[in-house]
A and B are shown apart, each in its own frame.
Chain A
Amino acid sequence: MSTLNVSNISDGTTTVGTSYVVNGSAKAWMHYNQDTTTINQSFNTSSVTDVAAGEAKYTYSSALDAANYCLQVSGKTDDNNTDSTGNRVWVRPFGSTATTGSSFTTDSGGTERDCKILCHTTWGDLA
């Protein structure tokens, strides 16, 4: 692996420090089908745990430095692009630690729902 050591990146007009790019990158992400317990795409995650109906927990390969990072989650229970009832769900992060992030999904009635498409993205500082 070659390493390019640069302090700044420029397009000829605007110059930014490399640290802005590194610090602003997502540190982990996953595209997961909870119905089939299949991870479709991911980065910097070692596993996902199907905890219960509607609940998933991701574990990072390279941990964050603390629990107060930003975890964004989204999903839908139907694998289509319609505004179906199944796609009107609440997906929310909870109980994150430096090594794991969790999400919980319910429909508008408060019933737990499994997502066919469940996505999480993590921003923050690495340990």
Chain B
Amino acid sequence: MTHGHLWDRLAEAKSRLAPVQSKYRVLFEDPNAPDEPAKVLVPDPNFMAAALAGNVLPAIDTYLRDRDVPDGEPKEHPYAEPIGAMSEEEAIEYLVQKDIDPAVWRDYQGNRTIMKIVPVEMIPSDRSFRNAWRIMQ
């Protein structure tokens, strides 16, 4: 194994790559908690830099398989071989699968739109009624 642990690759990448602030946010609602407000996923600038550069992050499948691995058991994603560069859109799709519950992006079969990838400008700057945010249908 020559690619090392993911944490070491992230540390090396952070020392080499300039952070990239994404132009996008992911708005989503939890279908299992319909009374909760819409949530906003913010991509990490160092994660985006690593995704766009390539040869740092493992394949998304490894994270998905690790969801079923109990605490304390060996995980696959830290030791998996890194994959190549992604576009910004591909990186956001990767993040959706990695950081959002599959109940939102894979399993939901209702009629409401419960997830949207939107430009950052579309997120309201006025947070007075933050707990009333919903995705417009």
Residues of A whose CB lies within 8 Å of any CB of B are 1, 3, 27, 30, 32, 35-39, 42-53, 59, 61-63, 65-67, 98, 112, 114, 126-127
Are the CB atoms of B71 and A67 closer together than 8 Å?
yes
| Total chain B interface residues with beta-carbon distance under 8 A | 39
The reply to whether the CB of B98 lies closer than 8 angstroms to some CB of chain A is yes
| Also in contact, A66 and B123, with CB within 8 A (given A42-B45, A48-B44, A49-B42) | no
**Max count, chain B CB within 10 A of own CB: residue among A1, A61, A127:** A61
What string of 1s and 0s marks CB contacts (under 8 Å) between B25-60 and chain A? 100000000001101111111110010000001000
A59 contact set on B, CB distance < 8 A: 98-99
- Name A125's closest neighbour in chain B (CB-CB): B72
Q: For the complex, what is the distance from the CA of A3 to the CA of B8, rounded to whole Å? A: 10
Nearest chain A CB to B73's CB is how many angstroms away? Answer: 9
CB-nearest residue of chain B to A65? B72
Beyond A1-B12, A43-B14, whether A127 also contacts B74 by CB under 8 A is yes
Q: Is B116 an interface residue (CB 8 A)?
A: no
Which residues does chain A contribute within 8 Å of B44, judged by CB atoms?
Answer: 30, 39, 42, 45-48, 61
What residues of chain B lie closer than 8 Å to A112, measured between beta carbons? 131
Question: Are B99's CB and A52's CB within 8 A?
Answer: no
B134 sits at the interface (CB 8 A): no
A44 touches B127 (CB 8 A): no
B114 interfacial contact with A, CB 8 Å? no
Is B10 part of the binding interface, using a Cβ–Cβ cutoff of 8 Å?
yes
Q: Bound complex: CA of A32 vs CA of B21, how far in Å? A: 13
Cβ proximity bits B49-86 to A, threshold 8 Å, 1 near / 0 not: 01000000100000000100001101101100000000
Contacts of A39 in B (CB 8 A): 42, 44-45
Instruction: A3 to B75: give the CA distance in the assembly, Å.
Output: 23
Beta-carbon contact of B75 and A49 below 8 Å = no
Whether the Cβ atoms of A37 and B66 lie closer than 8 Å is no
Q: A42-B45, A61-B47 are in contact. Are A50 and B10 (CB under 8 A)?
A: no
Cα-based distance from A98 to B74 in the complex (angstroms): 12
State in angstroms the CA–CA spacing of A27 and B42 once bound together. Answer: 20
